[in-house]
Amino acid sequence: MVMIQFFAPDFSNAHHQAAIVGLMDEYAGGISGGGQGLPVETKENLIKELAVRPTCHVLLGMDEGTPVGVAICFEAFSTFACRPILNIHDFAISPAYQGRGLARELLLKIEEVARGLGCCKATLEVLEGNAVAKHVYEKFGFVGYELDPAMGQAFFMEMKL
């Protein structure tokens, strides 16, 4: 019996490249990813751009050569703790493999990477309507961010450039 493995991909490996781009395109094309898929320019340049970012950490899951999941994480820095943070920027399990506990396995690998980097915490964003993902993250130990309950929890904002 072959086990699904999550590992740091080789950006020079064409199969790994295609797997990352394919999984991200599948994720982007779903309801949680905006339903549009990745633009052609992104598909053509994603691997090159990830590879030149030293604070980028990618984990890829494969089942006998079939891509099953991906996490793309970036290091940030906590000025309060004076230690790195690992932000899970993208996290996707292929729909054909969902419901098998692979999200937990991938989160365990991310935690291993974060601990290896000396991170004080891991962070992520999740859409409030994505109840399944939110449940998985909460079960794993993620909670809403707050410094003081009187000030409330932080929420994600953006400004398009």
What is the CATH number for 13?
Answer: 3.40.630.30
**Is the residue at 159 inside a domain?**
no
**Is the residue at 99 inside a domain?**
yes
Residue 75 near residue 89 (C-beta atoms within 8 A): no
Full domain range(s) for residue 92: 5-141
Residue identified by tokens 């906590």 is: 78
pTM of the model: 0.94
Q: Please give the average per-residue pLDDT across 46-58, as a whole number.
A: 98
**Is the residue at 148 inside a domain?**
no
**Is the residue at 25 inside a domain?**
yes
**Is the residue at 81 inside a domain?**
yes
Number of domains in the chain: 1
57-100 pLDDT, tens per residue? Answer: 999 999 999 999 999 999 999 999 999 999 999 999 999 999 99
The pLDDT value given to residue 52:
98
Residue 27 backbone class (left: φ over 0; alpha: ψ -120 to 50; beta: rest): alpha
